[in-house]
Amino acid sequence: MSTLDPAGLLPPSWQAALQPVLERPETQALLGFLDAEEAAGKRIYPPRESRLRAFTLTPLDAVKVLILGQDPYHGAGQAHGLAFSVPDGVKVPPSLRNINKEIAADIGGAVPVGGNLERWARQGVLLLNTSLSVEEGKAGSHANRGWEAVTDAAVAAVAARSEPCVFLLWGNHAQRKAQRVPGLMDGRHLVLMAPHPSPLSAMTGFFGCRHFSRANAFLGANGREPINWT
């Protein structure tokens, strides 16, 4: 059976936070499910070496902002382990185009180009999806297969930290998940909610939410370096 971290890249801070859940029966069942799907010839995104990439690029002790998505992009070449992000050279998906438009309106300047958000991850933005894999062409296909235990534990680990962090929760799915996390809503962290940036809902309140400037204002007021969103 495979492991969730085949390349051994999970930072020590995340290993300590996630090890208990990685040993649970549901996580072992998840591993078996993923192995069986790939053995059956199904295309699973992102590739297994990239599924924990959000954690490898943003160690727990470096997290300043957590953005919570639902599941990876399900088209070829899109998903690379960071929520809302695509690799260099890949067409920017509609939700990310709307995120970039809101950044330009909120922070000022031109609309950011390109869809690779590694630059955010390396500054302390944890770009986390609820499920960390998906079958090609089938959004939500790996929901309720065991990833939720892993990502719930990750959100709880960030919420348990003493350093103030910002949680950007876009859409009902992210908001329902995060509201289950003990300690998240106790006032130590800044929790900002808005509709999802997808074309279906961005006009209902995502545009104009000003989450990016508000996040930076909170970080600065708490002695933490703001994020360069552009």
Closest CA to 21 of 4, 1, 45, 38: 4
Q: Kindly state the helix (H) or strand (E) to which residue 88 belongs, with its residue range.
A: none
71 is catalytic: yes
For residue 72, what are the contacts with CB-CB under 8 A and spacing of at least 6?
Answer: 45, 46, 78, 79, 81, 83, 129, 131, 132, 133, 134
Q: What is the largest CA-CA distance in the chain?
A: 52
Which residue among the candidates 5, 61, 71, 88 is catalytic per the annotation?
Answer: 71
Q: Is the peptide bond before 46 cis (omega within 30 degrees of 0)?
A: yes
Report the catalytic residues. Answer: 71
